[in-house]
Amino acid sequence: DADVTQTPRNRITKTGKRIMLECSQTKGHDRMYWYRQDPGLGLRLIYYSFDVKDINKGEISDGYSVSRQAQAKFSLSLESAIPNQTALYFCATSDPTAWELFFGEGSRLTVL
């Protein structure tokens, strides 16, 4: 009964392929985020969404796109994957104060 669910959990793909990572939540939060985790670089924000009609770029949005299909769903796409996009990707949600982020379990992506 996870509050924030990410699929797939693991994915191996080849350079140039299109990949979609999906996130769904049952927290009822308007805000959703996609972060990327790399060893030594911590968590970096890719995109965030305040509600279904409000989507914003984070610090490392190049090469990524997102779709907020509903309040509960926020998908991250890599149109043409490249090896340096190999990372652990986290979805998170929060209320407007952002006093606590609730994270998914992560999606590990490997681009060969």
Q: Using CB under 8 A, list all residues that contact another protein.
A: 4, 33, 35, 40-45, 48, 50, 58, 90, 92, 94, 96-101, 103-106
Q: Which is nearer to another protein, 11 or 17 (CB)?
A: 11
Q: Which of 37, 34, 15, 16 is nearest to 25 (CA)?
A: 34
Q: Which is nearer to another protein, 58 or 63 (CB)?
A: 58
Q: Which is nearer to another protein, 86 or 94 (CB)?
A: 94
Minimum distance from residue 72 beta carbon to another protein (Å): 18
| Secondary structure of 37-57 in HEC code, one letter for each residue | EECCCEEEEEEEEEECCEEEE
Minimum distance from residue 18 beta carbon to another protein (Å): 26
Q: Which is nearer to another protein, 16 or 96 (CB)?
A: 96
Minimum distance from residue 105 beta carbon to another protein (Å): 5
C-alpha pair distances (Å), 42 with each of 13, 38, 76, 87, 97: 23, 6, 19, 11, 22
Minimum distance from residue 68 beta carbon to another protein (Å): 16
CA 21/CA 24 separation, integer angstroms: 10
How many helices and strands in the chain, by DSSP H and E? 0, 11
